[in-house]
Amino acid sequence: MRLSDRVAIVTGAGDGIGRGIAVHLAREGADMAICDINTATVEETGRLIAETGRRVITETIDITDHKRVKTFVDQVAEQFGQVNILVNNAAIMPVDPIEDQDEATMASILTVNLLAPMVFSKYCTPHMRKAGGGSIIHMASVTGHNGHPGVAVYGATKGGLIALARGQAMELAKDGIRVNTVSPGTIDSPMLHNFIKENSENPEAARKAFDALHPIGRIGTIDEVARVFVFLASDDSSDITATDIRCDGGYAVQGQQPRE
Catalytic residues: 154
Q: What is the DSSP letter of 258?
A: P
Angle between helices 39-50 and 16-27 (to 10 degrees): 20
Q: What residues form DSSP beta bridges with 138?
A: 88, 181
Query: For residues 72 and 48, is the Cβ–Cβ distance under 8 A?
Result: no
Nearest to 214 by CA among 181, 184, 189, 235: 184
Strand order through the sheet with 85-88: 56-60, 31-36, 7-11, 85-88, 134-139, 177-184, 244-247
If one counts every other C-beta atom within 10 angstroms of the C-beta of residue 79, the result is: 12
Contact between 245 and 228 under an 8 Å Cβ cutoff? The reply is: yes
Distance CA 38, CA 43 (A): 9
Question: What number of CA atoms fall less than 13 Å from residue 81's CA on the CB side?
Answer: 6
DSSP 236: G
Report d(CA 42, CA 37) in Å as an integer. 8
